[in-house]
Chains A and B, each alone.
Chain A
């Protein structure tokens, strides 16, 4: 809320600089987001109050006139002016040569220079609000109050600071100048000056002219009204226009301006109806009937329905309660009698109505934050007073006050013990009371004793329990002035959280394998879901009702396309480098249930992709090569080293991978994912066909079933030397290397064995290949003799021949 300091000063003394004020308010919970300084650049010498004492027509221009101005201290000036609203006797702002003014044509501040305009010398000018930087262009010069003294520097008269408070939703009381003044009073130890609101009423009694009935007391706990007759609608006085402009409101006419002024002053929205446009002598507060409509003041015709609340006369709705009035009873220049409303409307219903109509107003903003009904008659009387003063009307005697759902302020018991329990420091009730009384709390007990009962100020709808009072004390005392002390309570037992440890192990291993972690958005589109066939056709993906982007309104059922998209985006800007990236994130699967509030299944997936050259910066050392299936497989093996469980791979074609170039990955007997080369149509789709894209797609939950962080079981390393033999084999391609290794390892003298070469060519028969195995022989008991190794070697060849019809290559 924008609050001019000049306005605040009407209610509370402010003797600290505005920056200190803003800081104190911010620390106490009323964040001052910005401070606007008006007239900071005005110079006392060059901008002064002047009076128009004579007005001549410009001899050479129809639209220009030549005012003669009294600048005070016997000084006079004659200038050229084009403003149509200039009149003899007006007090205006005069800028002398050298003044810095805003030029709306250039959009910059410029130094005023003397000029000859159509043959007449003009040294200085009469200013408009826009040239001074304090308002909008209202089609003419700024006219000051008649009381302004000629010669007074404008800086003294009009300079101001406007603080812009950014309020939390619990403080509707501070959506007002007086509410903010109370905060300042509490923070700086000042008193509040209440504004004038007593007025002289006429002979008519309001109850003889109109009555109010509330048909929905739940949604309208209180309705107050006054009647003012014989008013004159016109522009507001300068001071009122000025204060509204600075507060961010556009002046309209005196009646409407006063209702806005009092709304900003007290935080209570008001509305004025043209009394003579009402049909019948009754105001009815009721729910709209089905399909009833109302043209609101913004000229929109709005179709209403229950439980939206309307203000109606005997025949029609005349206002949308707590949100906006109707055109049919709008104040216009012919209005002479007005009915003024200050009511209280239910917060939730106001919010529901304004959100379904998409109509957010200053009034609805306040009502939906739960303002107190006690404000209604206070604001009503204040506005009635101002209207009688400024619009020349006569208020009827009495006010309407229909108070259908009274509620009482709840008395709260506060104790020194609770304050200490929450704040962690003993506080005396005397200190507590000295702070909270300045906020408007009242106490029941005479004395200040360790336990007292207090009534919170009626305008504070946010205070209902003792801890609320503790916050009130603490924020005014200053959070920074309260002590700190380390946690001293017992640390709860924690147990081991396997899911995170395994996942973080995998994440670290992926990074150590040269993979870059990415995080993408959890949403996707229907084309992608179909392309990856990621949920069965009878299932609906989880859908967002109000998506940010209408095409991406589904929660992803698989992580693979997200990572491919990331890969593709990076490939677009970098055609050269090998790319290795991964993501660990949740996917969302629908539940097979009709319960609308059952939660979807969330599963964590690990997806890695690699493509392009395996190295990039060491091209000078050796020729590069494209990454392939075995690079990806190497990464998987790297991941699972350090986790329990044995990896194995089974060929199994899956839709997104190239046929024959994919496998299911198992950890012990559990299927934990797939690895494979992306199918060519998909790699084309993602613009990734320059080099093969290898994907691994793992399911964390399955991994957790099988794997744990391995607690390493130490074994004693053999003290005896090992020796190796290389064995070249001719084998059918059908036999996989894993089977051969496991046969070789079946020999008890073999410590390890692995393939070191694979060859296909002229010397090898069709359908077969040559595989060279290195066999490492070692015993824990002794140094093996050549004879023992020879014997084992022969046994191994025999077993291979027997099991897989594998023969030795050089036999």
Chain B
């Protein structure tokens, strides 16, 4: 026998062994297959014995090939043995094999995005499609950016709207320059300071407040800020943009409502609500019986804020908004307690896979 025919024989043996194996349904059949291939007089054993018939220079390689075939088939045998031994497939001695098709399929581990992340992505995607760019900013901020440049001077009573967690550092005058940002609004300033108009950005990020935690309040949460500044941007644009947002997130039927509200860095200021998607505005526990659900604060960028970053408020105008990502997620999924978000219970998180 020459080397070439030896390789062919090996391939034939392999093919036959594998095709026979695939027909096997019982342990008895498997055992006789083992004897036929791997047993003392089996085909593979014969192949190994045949090595000595080969010319000397080919023996080494042929031996290696035959041994690896033996390894492969032995493994297959073990696997089949385990398989037939298990209850997975029900095979009859003579008839065709069949499966209990109602048994569960093999589990493919499915991960999940945190609902806050999912909400942030969904919200940002809506604004991105309107030409806004998603950017991020620092979580530890300067008082200057978190408050002062947003038209909230020191000792201004509006500071009570954002109870702050201060970083333990003091300037010579005793004031604390650093805090955990209480909102994403400082990025309005950072963005405008870093580029000339036009501006269209959406800024998601963690924010922090010194606030007791309850079903609707978390001291750490994720806010999504937005800002558009250019010549001729108007309150009518603010309304249209946020109405469109409300429809895309909560459905085509949703109406947005705008009422006057106060934030020192906008004028006019607004609170945006949508008509309750649960009760269609008739009043239910979700909307606190008002028929309306608050979703964000918004307004036209205050001329002082524009002037502060070197934009001429006589030429440029803009609008801004801020909303809580968890709040949007709670409304969408009917989550009744914000504390679920940071308790990280898998039983909660896996619902969002």
Which residues of chain B are within 8 angstroms of A596 by Cβ–Cβ distance?
169-171, 177
Chain A residues near B65: list those with CB within 8 A: 725
Chain A's closest residue to B131 (CB) is A491
Per-residue contact bits, chain B 137-178, to A (CB 8 Å; 1 contact, 0 not): 011111000000000001111101100011111110000111
User: Are B180 and A492 touching (Cβ within 8 A)?
Assistant: no
| A605 interfacial by beta-carbon distance below 8 Å | no
Closest to B177 in A: A597
**Chain B 199-238: CB-based contact to A (< 8 A → 1; otherwise 0):** 1100000101010000000011000000010111111110
Q: Which residues from 551 to 571 on chain A have a C-beta closer than 8 Å to any C-beta of chain B?
A: 555, 566, 569-570
State whether the Cβ of A111 lies closer than 8 Å to any Cβ in chain B. no
Chain B residue nearest in CB terms to A555: B140
Question: A599 is contacted by which of B142, B303, B344 (Cβ under 8 Å)?
Answer: B142
A27 to B290, CA, bound (A): 13
Q: Which residues of A contact B200 (CB under 8 A)?
A: 487, 491-492
> Are the CB atoms of A348 and B111 closer together than 8 Å?
no
A299 at the interface (CB under 8 A from B): no
> Is the C-beta of B333 less than 8 angstroms from some C-beta in chain A?
no
User: Closest Cβ of chain B: how far from A430's Cβ, in Å?
Assistant: 20
Q: Which of A335-343, A432-440, A449-457, A504-512 lies at the interface with chain B?
A: A504-512
Give the shortest distance, in Å, between B87 (CB) and chain A (any CB).
Answer: 7
Contact partner, A620, options B71, B88, B240, Cβ 8 Å: B88
> Which of B18-26, B28-36, B101-109 forms part of the interface with chain A?
B101-109
Where chain B touches its partner, the secondary structure class is mixed
Chain A proximity of B202: nearest CB distance (Å): 12
B262 touches A168 (CB 8 A): yes
Q: Tell yes or no: B258 within 8 A of A by CB.
A: yes
> Counting CB contacts under 8 A, is A10 at the interface?
no
**Nearest neighbor of A619 in chain B, beta-carbon distance:** B107
Residue B113 lies at the interface, judged by CB distance under 8 Å to chain A: yes
- Count class of interface residues, chain B: 35 or more
Distance A349 CA – B168 CA, assembled complex (angstroms): 24
CA distance A424 to B4 in the complex (A): 87
**B237 to A545, Cβ gap below 8 A?**
no
Task: Report A520-542 CB contacts with B as 1/0, cut-off 8 Å.
Answer: 11100000000000000000001
Say whether A615 faces chain B, with CB atoms less than 8 Å apart. yes
Q: Tell me whether A480 and B344 are in contact (CB under 8 A).
A: no
Q: Which residue of A is nearest B234, CB measured? A: A424
Instruction: Confirm or deny: B9 has a beta carbon within 8 angstroms of a beta carbon on chain A.
Output: no
Contact A617 B107 (CB under 8 A): yes
Cβ A516 vs Cβ B111 within 8 A = yes
Within 8 A of A (CB), among B46-66: 60-61, 63-65
- B157–A347 contact, CB under 8 A? yes
CB distance from A454 to the nearest CB of B (A): 16
Q: Is the CB of A471 within 8 A of B219?
A: no
Given A515-B111, A517-B349, A620-B103, answer yes or no on A543-B168 (Cβ-Cβ < 8 Å): yes
What's the nearest-Cβ distance from chain B to residue A198, in Å? 34
Chain A: CB-nearest residue to B79: A622
> Once the chains bind, are B346 and A522 in contact (CB under 8 Å)?
no
> Cβ of B157 and Cβ of A786 under 8 Å apart?
no
User: In the complex, what distance in Å separates the CA atom of A521 from the CA atom of B231?
Assistant: 41
Taking CB atoms, residues of chain A closer than 8 Å to B244 are 486
**Whole-angstrom distance between the alpha carbons of A471 and B268 in the complex?**
5
- Would you call B134 an interface residue if the criterion is a C-beta within 8 Å of the partner chain's C-beta atoms? yes
| Per-residue contact bits, chain B 245-266, to A (CB 8 Å; 1 contact, 0 not) | 0000000000001111110100
Q: Are A475 and B341 in contact (CB under 8 A)?
A: no
CB <8 Å contact, A467 and B259: no
Beta-carbon contact of A570 and B88 below 8 Å: no
Which chain B residues border A810 with CB–CB below 8 Å? 63-64, 67-68
Q: Which residues of B contact A570 (CB under 8 A)?
A: 344-346
B68, A772: Cβ atoms under 8 Å? Answer: yes
- Write the nearest CB–CB distance from A167 to chain B, whole angstroms: 9
Q: What is the 8 Å Cβ interface bit string for chain B, positions 112-151, against chain A (1 contact, 0 not)?
A: 1110110001000000001101111011111000000000
Residues of A within 8 A of B322 (CB): none
- Out of B4, B64, B112, B195, name the residue touching A516 (CB < 8 Å): B112
The chain B residue sitting closest to A554, CB to CB, is B168
The answer on a CB contact under 8 Å between A485 and B109 is no
Query: A422 contacts B300, CB within 8 Å?
Result: yes
A168: nearest residue on chain B (CB-CB)?
Answer: B262
Q: How far is the CA of A497 from the CA of B195 in the complex (A)?
A: 16
Residue of B nearest to A515 (CB): B111
A110 is an interface residue with CB less than 8 A from chain B: no
Interface string of A468-502 (1 = CB under 8 A from B): 10110011000110111111111110100100100
Interface membership of A621, Cβ < 8 A: yes
Q: Does A202 contact B (CB under 8 A)?
A: no
A543 touches B167 (CB 8 A): yes
Is there an interface contact between B261 and A29, defined as CB atoms closer than 8 Å?
yes
Q: Does B117 lie within 8 Å of A507, measured CB to CB?
A: yes
Asked if B198 and A490 sit within 8 Å, CB to CB, the answer is: yes
Residue interface mask A788-811, B partner, CB < 8 A = 1:
001001100000000000001111
Contact assessment for B236 and A169 in the assembled complex, using a CB-CB cutoff below 8 Å: no
Interface centre among B107, B244, B259 (most CB of A within 10 A): B259
Q: Closest chain B residue to A486 by CB distance?
A: B240
**Closest A residue, CB atoms, query B242:** A484
Q: In this assembly, does A586 line the interface, its C-beta being within 8 Å of a C-beta of chain B?
A: yes
Write out the residue numbers on chain A whose beta carbons fall within 8 Å of the beta carbon of B106.
615, 618, 621
> Whole-angstrom distance between the alpha carbons of A333 and B204 in the complex?
61
Q: Which residues of B contact A480 (CB under 8 A)?
A: 257-259
Q: Is A28 an interface residue (CB 8 A)?
A: yes
Chain A, residues 363-379, CB within 8 Å of chain B (1/0): the string is 00000111000000000
| B43 CB to nearest A CB, Å | 18
B114 and A518 contact, CB distance less than 8 A: yes
Produce 1/0 per residue, A581-612, CB < 8 A to B.
10001101000000011011010000000000
Contacts of A518 in B (CB 8 A): 114, 344, 349
Some 26 contacts from A to B, beta carbons below 8 A apart, are A31-B261, A347-B157, A348-B155, A351-B155, A422-B235, A422-B268, A465-B267, A467-B300, A484-B239, A487-B237, A489-B230, A511-B112, A514-B111, A519-B341, A522-B208, A548-B165, A548-B219, A580-B109, A597-B177, A602-B138, A618-B106, A621-B106, A725-B68, A786-B7, A808-B64, A809-B67
Q: Which 6 A-B pairs have the closest CB atoms?
A: A514-B109, A424-B234, A424-B236, A29-B260, A168-B262, A471-B268
A169-B158, A425-B234, A570-B344 known; 14 other A-B pairs, CB under 8 Å? Answer: A27-B260, A348-B154, A491-B131, A492-B198, A500-B136, A511-B113, A517-B111, A517-B349, A519-B117, A519-B342, A585-B206, A596-B169, A620-B87, A786-B4
